[in-house]
Structures are given as structure tokens and as C-alpha cells.
Amino acid sequence: MLKIDGHDNAVIGTATPWINGRWTEVLVYDGQAIVKNLVVRDDMTLDEAREYIQFNIEGAYVGDETPIIVWKCGLDELE
């Protein structure tokens, strides 16, 4: 399984989606925990952390084992 470097504490489990004709086990991450890591550890603002995640993590497809990020929020909190 592929990992998001530096965010092991944000792993919440695994998922097994059907990808390209086979079941593929991937890691699942808590998006808010990744934000917290970037703000606390890397001294980013919330906006910087969100932008970093959007362009450098969510925007990076690295094959069938690309990790999943889960954002735990209600529908009314989505932009």
C-alpha cells in the first residue's frame, strides 16, 4: 500500500475498492488530521494547509494504490 509521507498518525484504516478489474487495498486518511499536522508541525496557516493538500496530495494520482482522504464533515459544511 502507498502512504502519504509524514502523516502516519492520520491513518484511520483501509479500504478495498474495485479498481481496474481487481480488489485493491488502499490506506484511508483523516483529512482534518493531515491539516492539523501541516499547521502544527509545518507551521502553515489553514489556507496554506488546504492549498497544499489540494495540489500536492489530493491532486496526485500515483496508481491504483493511491490513498483515500476522508473529510469528516456534514453536507452543510462543504463548500
Q: pTM value?
A: 0.87
Per-residue pLDDT at 69: 95
* pLDDT tens by residue, 14-68: 999 999 999 999 999 999 999 999 999 999 999 999 999 999 999 888 999 999 9
- Domain boundaries, given as residue ranges, for the chain: 8-73
Answer yes or no: are the C-beta atoms of 29 and 54 closer than 8 Å: no
Say if residue 71's pLDDT is above 80: yes
In the chain, beta strands by DSSP E: 11-15, 18-19, 22-23, 26-30, 68-70
Say if residue 76's pLDDT is above 70: no
Answer yes or no: are the C-beta atoms of 38 and 56 closer than 8 Å: no
